[in-house]
């Protein structure tokens, strides 16, 4: 894969997502609190959905980047 200006937004989006996931691992917990999820069960469901969608989003961005 070579770098082109078309792939730059995809690379920035992937880098931002990975930055939030690995360097700030408590971001989902803070986001759940800001969304008003006060019960532990609701927060756990939110965290499961969050951690499942992150790899899917990264995969979709990489697939779009490689096709473009």
- Tell me if 61 is assigned to some domain: yes
Range of the domain at 35: 25-67
| 52 or 65: which leads in pLDDT | 52
User: How many residues are there in the chain?
Assistant: 68
Tell whether 62 is covered by a domain.
Answer: yes
| Tally of domains in the chain | 1
pLDDT tens, residue by residue, 8-59: 888 888 888 888 778 878 888 888 899 998 899 999 999 899 889 988 988 8
Does residue 29 lie within any of the structural domains? Answer: yes
pLDDT attached to residue 68 = 66
Give the pLDDT confidence score for residue 48 in this predicted structure.
92
The three-state DSSP-derived secondary structure of the chain is CCCCCCCHHHHHHHHHHHHHHHCCCCHHHHHHHHCCCCCHHHHHHHHHHHHHHHHHHHHHHHHHHHHC
Q: Is residue 52 part of a domain?
A: yes
pLDDT at 45: 92
CA distance 20 to 12: 12
């Amino acid at each position: 894969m070579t770098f082109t200006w078309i792939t730059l937004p995809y690379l920035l989006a992937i880098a931002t997502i990975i930055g939030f996931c690995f360097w700030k691992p408590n971001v989902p917990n803070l986001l759940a609190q800001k969304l008003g999820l006060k019960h532990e069960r609701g927060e756990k469901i939110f965290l499961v959905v969050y951690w499942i969608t992150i790899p899917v989003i990264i995969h979709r961005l990489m697939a779009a980047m490689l096709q473009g």
